[in-house]
Amino acid sequence: MLKLISKTANKLPLPTSCYGCQNLIINKSASYSLCQDCYDNLPRFNDSTCSFCFHEHPSNQCLETDEWRLDELRSIFHYHKPVSRWLLSFKYNHNLLVGRILQDLFYRYWQLNAHLFEEYDFIIPMPRHKKFNLRPKLNAIFYIVKGIKLAKLRIDKIKHTKSLPRQATLNKAQREKNMSKRGIFKVDKTLSGKSILLLDDVCTTGATIRNLARELRINKVKKVGALVFMREGWNRLQR
């Protein structure tokens, strides 16, 4: 009898309340554990806002593109609540329910927008220094995309061999210097002539992505783009 009960319990649809508003889910959204209202109200980056500079201007007309050494930068969300809070909870409390939500959000974005990224040969999550590789804390994007079958995903083509000092503790000049340091990444020779889409969880100053983009250019990579889960304005950090 006990066995029967536990068998039945396993089949019950769980959970029935929304992780965002705690209300019972009446309208299910595309994400596990979120109601349609909460899902619709997430702080998405809208198409007319430039992910480089946050201004609204026609695409391909950003003055900052060269400085970043990226052909394009796209963001799924702004670094705002509740998604920012969820990411922290995933990274620091290893909250797997929220990990599943983040994964669904990424997956849904990918389903709707994969055509934008068709011309890339490889999709590569920002590599982390090997000492951080197994810890979701510092490698959230890897865990978010791990369960999603992205045919062009590669994780062994770029190695992060030297760590950069934490960007948040540096002023602008120090960050710029950091950005141009060589030897932070080791790039596989087979990437030469290819188009590469980098993925990251949060992009603030973009110093690490820019450093890698520069390294990829030196290694003759044809096109470098980036898709970030969340984009945070660095005004917050300017002193």
| Residue 86 amino acid letter | W
Instruction: Output 97 or 114, the one with its CB closest to Zn ion.
Output: 97
Q: Least distance from C-beta 188 to Zn ion, angstroms?
A: 31
Closer residue to Zn ion in complex, CB, 10/238: 238
Closer CB to Zn ion, 53 or 88, in the complex: 53
CB of 18 to Zn ion, least distance (A): 3
**Near Zn ion in 175-214, by CB under 5 A:** none
Is residue 101 involved in binding Zn ion (CB under 5 A)? no
CB 220 → Zn ion: shortest distance, Å?
Answer: 26
Q: How far is the CB of 70 from Zn ion (least distance, A)?
A: 11
18 binds Zn ion (CB under 5 A): yes
Residue-wise burial string across 20-43, b where 16 or more C-beta atoms lie within 10 A, e elsewhere? beeeebeeebebebbbeebbeebe
Contact 220, 194 (CB under 8 A): no
> What is the spatial distance between Cα 50 and Cα 231, in angstroms, rounded to a whole number?
11
CA distance 122 to 199: 11
**Residue written as token pair 């889910």:** 25
- Per CB under 5 A, which of residues 20..79 are in contact with Zn ion? 20-21, 35, 38, 50, 52-53, 62
Min separation Cβ 101 and Zn ion, Å: 11
In 3D space, the residue among 91, 193, 215 whose CA is nearest the CA of residue 143 turns out to be 91
Number of residues in contact with Zn ion under rule CB under 5 A: 9
Of the pair 21, 116, the CB lying nearest Zn ion is at 21
C-alpha 136, offset from chain centre: 13
39 or 122: whose CB is closer to Zn ion? Answer: 39
Contact call for residues 204 and 178 (beta carbons, < 8 A): no
| Token duo for residue 233 | 């304005």
Residues interacting with Zn ion, by CB under 5 A? 18, 20-21, 35, 38, 50, 52-53, 62
